Structure 1
């Protein structure tokens, strides 16, 4: 699956995290979610995102990078901060 970051009305970045204003709601996004959105600005596959996150944050505990990235991507899709790329 490929995803793309949804263009926000405004964003504030601090210490790796971000506040994202989208459709009248402010979302507090973790450093991991912020990196996913940043890497997906022009579209990215979940596999590409997993590799980038593993490189930046190291190997995860409690699952593979791909499994955990898939979950994080789904969360961002559910709240509208990412969209599937056709």
Structure 2
């Protein structure tokens, strides 16, 4: 699966956390989600996000990094921060 940044209005990034303005809603992102958005450039493979996040934060305790990243990507797609690339 590939993802890209959705067409949101604005993004405030304080260096750790951030907030994205999607339509008329402000979505505050955690440090991990902020890092994910930073790593998404064009059509980014989820596998590449997994590698980047494990490098930056380490593997999740008691879980699978790929499964956790896929779940986070799905959440960001659902709220309009990321969009799945279908082509």
Q: Please confirm whether the aligned pair reaches a TM-score higher than 0.5, indicating the same fold.
A: yes
**Is the 2:18–2:29 contact (alpha carbons within 8 Å) kept by the matching residues of 1?**
yes
Q: TM-score, normalised by structure 2?
A: 0.91
Give the secondary structure class of the aligned counterpart of 1:16.
coil
Q: TM-score, normalised by structure 1?
A: 0.92
- 1:7 Cα shift? 3.1
Q: How does 1:1-86 map to 2 (within 5 A)?
A: 1-86=1-86
- 1:41 Cα shift? 2.7
> How many residues in Structure 1 have an aligned counterpart in Structure 2?
86
- 1:15 Cα shift? 4.0
Structure 1's consecutive aligned runs of 4 or more residues displaced over 2 angstroms after TM superposition are none
Specify every segment of 5 or more residues in structure 1 that has no aligned partner in the other structure, as ranges: none
Give the alignment's Cα RMSD to 1 decimal: 1.1
> Which shows bigger deviation, 73-82 or 37-46?
37-46
Distance in 2, matches of 1:21 and 1:44, equals: 21
Distance in 2, matches of 1:16 and 1:43, equals: 23
Distance in 2, matches of 1:59 and 1:35, equals: 15
**Is the 2:8–2:80 contact (alpha carbons within 8 Å) kept by the matching residues of 1?**
no
- 1:50 Cα shift? 0.5
